[in-house]
Amino acid sequence: MKKIEAIIQPFKLESVKEALHQINIQGMTVTEVKGFGQQKGMREVYRGMEYQVDFIPKVKIEIVAPDDKVVAIVQAIQEQARTGRIGDGKIFVYPVSEAIRLRTGESGDTAL
């Protein structure tokens, strides 16, 4: 099993969600987050005053999936979240040693 974390632009969430649904990925956790990478924030203008915004709003998607679905999930996220501009985000893939469904006690891939 692997955990896929994707940090993407908020406006890309719906298209990513739909792409994941198309490949039968049914469970995910979505969190609104803030951060910065290469762009190191951005300058905004409000009522004629310019100011620096250090943390950019992003969305973090977390999915735990069997090993055989990881490539398809990463590919779907890449295709839908990429704009080609700085700030598109990142995808991280981590190993997961165990998953347990609390309701039934199932473990491993069946718990997903």
Q: What is the pLDDT of residue 23?
A: 96
Length of the chain, in residues: 112
Tokens of 81: 């979240």
Q: Which residues of 27-53 are buried (b: 16+ CB within 10 A; e: fewer)?
A: ebebeeeeeeeeeeeeeeeeeeeeeee
Confidence band for 37, pLDDT divided at 50, 70 and 90: confident
pTM over 0.75: yes
Domains contained in the chain, CATH given: 2-111 (3.30.70.120)
Is it the case that residue 80 has pLDDT exceeding 80?
Answer: yes
CB 80 within 8 A of CB 6: no
φ/ψ bin of 108: left (φ > 0), alpha (ψ from -120 to 50), beta (otherwise) = left
Tokens of 100: 């347990």
